[in-house]
Amino acid sequence: IPVTPFDYVVFGGSGDLACRKLLPALFHRFADGQFDESSRILAVSRSGMAREAYRAMAAEAIGEHGSPGDHDGEVLSRFLGCLDHIHLDVTDPAGWAALADRLDRDETRIRAFYLAVAPDLFGPICEGLGEAGLATANSRVVLEKPLGYDLTSAEAINEAVGRVFAERQIYRIDHYLGKETVQNLMALRFANALFEPLWNSAQIDHVQITVAEEIGVEGRADYYEASGALRDMVQNHLLQLLCLVALEPPAAFTADAVRDEKLKILTALKPITGDAAADLTVRGQYRGVAAGGADIPGYADELGRASGTETFVAIKAEVENWRWAGVPFYLRTGKRMARRASEIVIEFRSIPHSIFGPEAGRILVNQLVLRLQPDEGVKLYLMIKDPGPGGMRLRQVPLNLSFAETFDTRPPDAYERLLLDVVRGNQTLFMRRDEVAAAWAWIDPIRASWDASRTAPHGYRAGTWGPSAAIALIERDRRTWHEEA
């Protein structure tokens, strides 16, 4: 369904995120007919680029990171016609006047200001928009992470943005919420009668959430050094996934109903403070691997100096409420791991009694695996009888729903959904201020315990599943990480 015409203003419009994600995503929505030339995309940056140069840069970015080949060239050139570039230095009033000139004067028109810039500019940009009178009632502002580096800094950002925009106008992006499998978690839980009766501590033994990346820090070492895996991935993406697994059924799939339930989970997370952090968390940092021509540098080599920043983290978390008491949520994420594999594993309890003799083999527990990437889909591991006329031999086999095989469509990037949800005014897949604060309130003491311990992260070889201490973290509880990750 086409959306109402809009002006999308992208601060940081010639930056990495705009090129890799935002422009390709907007192009695909345009190509699918969700908006047309009556909408405009105004890139703002300090680069002083002329309109034609920006369009050429956008075409190149879409060629590299999108799939323009699925459409004829005419679609791309019509899309490029929606693009413009504005030179703006946030501290220079002349730039704001130039932006004001370019925006549609109709106050009822939807304006979305996307801040794909460093968070210390969020406040000044919002202030500039406010002073130039550009933040109309129909405006929205989209904030990219990182939303601060702890609770205090996140609150300062939220205060500054909140002075100009009301909460209903603020869209805090966590692109994991736009991923197909993540949205499917809600569909699976709340559009099927099958799972919800089993979704509790009586039936579920534990939950695993893994986001493993094969890449390293990819030239972002300076940002990453001040962040580390805990702030970069756990505070936002992994906690959001945990919330969606754990939340109570919202009364409706609407922004506040869903976010109220997520907030309850975040505030029910058992705090990890002081010495507990040594038992419940593991930090790692990848070391270089010499492999002939295919040497992989270690994190410290990429950074150019020794560092105590973690590129891997594993945590045993607990949600202290009626439904989940005693069910561990094992989280892990890292860079330079064996492969790119992100998944949520719900492991059910074992059967109370086996009617089969030892010749049937071991009866393994049921697992529901939601695969985020790659090969998005859902697998339900069941025990079945090995085919054949022999005796009753049992084997574990997955019931396999691959999205690519089931639906013959291009899997959309998360940003495609999210960028247009902003225009639609739908905040369901965006984080509310109190959620962000609650997530930081849980993360900060972990960080503080690490700092106080004065210990270094465990080393792990690039291309492996992280430090052995992370394996020990789960094996101590007589459990193992799901093998496919």
Bridge partner residues of 337 (DSSP) = 464
Give CA 58 to chain center in angstroms: 24
Contact yes or no for 172/430 (Cβ under 8 A)? yes
Active-site residue identified among 85, 237, 458, 482: 237
Q: Is 222 labelled as part of a ligand binding site? A: no
| 145 marked as binding residue | yes
Say whether 397 counts as a known binding-site residue.
Answer: no
- Specify the residue for token string 């703006």: 88
Find the helix packing angle between 51-65 and 23-31, rounded to 10°: 80
Report, in Å, the least distance between residue 47 CB and ligand BG6: 23
Token pair 């460093």 is found at 118
* Shortest Cβ 213–ligand BG6 spacing (Å): 6
Residue 373 Cβ, how far from ligand BG6 at the closest point, in Å?
6
**Cα 279 to the center of its chain, rounded Å:** 26
Among the listed residues 281, 280, 299, the one whose alpha carbon sits nearest the alpha carbon of residue 289:
299
Instruction: List residues near ligand BG6 by CB under 6 A.
Output: 145, 175, 213, 232
User: In terms of CB distance, is 7 or 343 closer to ligand BG6?
Assistant: 343
- Residues 228 and 285: their CA atoms lie apart, in Å, by 10
β-strand partners of 209:
331, 344
Q: Which is nearer to ligand BG6, 425 or 463 (CB)?
A: 463
Which residue, judged by CB position, is nearest to ligand BG6 in the bound state? 232
Residue 179 assigned as binding residue: yes
- Tell whether 232 is in a known binding site: yes
The answer on whether 289 is annotated among ligand-binding residues is no
Quote the CA–CA distance of 458 and 263 in Å, as a whole number: 32
Residue 237 is a catalytic residue: yes
Gap between the Cα atoms of 256 and 263, Å rounded: 10
Minimum distance, C-beta of residue 307 to ligand BG6, in the bound complex (Å): 16
- Looking at beta carbons only, is 175 or 332 nearer to ligand BG6? 175
Q: Tell which residue, 256, 267, 308, 298, has the closest CA to residue 450.
A: 308
Task: List, in order, residues 6 or more apart from 3 with CB less than 8 Å away.
Answer: 34, 35, 39, 420, 423, 424
Residue 114 or residue 381: which is nearer to ligand BG6 going by CB?
A: 114
Shortest distance, position 61 Cβ to ligand BG6, whole Å: 17
Q: Which is nearer to ligand BG6, 226 or 382 (CB)?
A: 226
Angle formed by the axes of helices 239-246 and 180-190, nearest 10°: 20
Binding-site residues:
46, 89-90, 145, 175, 179, 213, 232, 335
Binding-site residues for NADP(+):
46, 89-90, 145
Binding-site residues for substrate:
175, 179, 213, 232, 335
Query: Would you please indicate which residues are annotated as catalytic (active-site) residues?
Result: 237
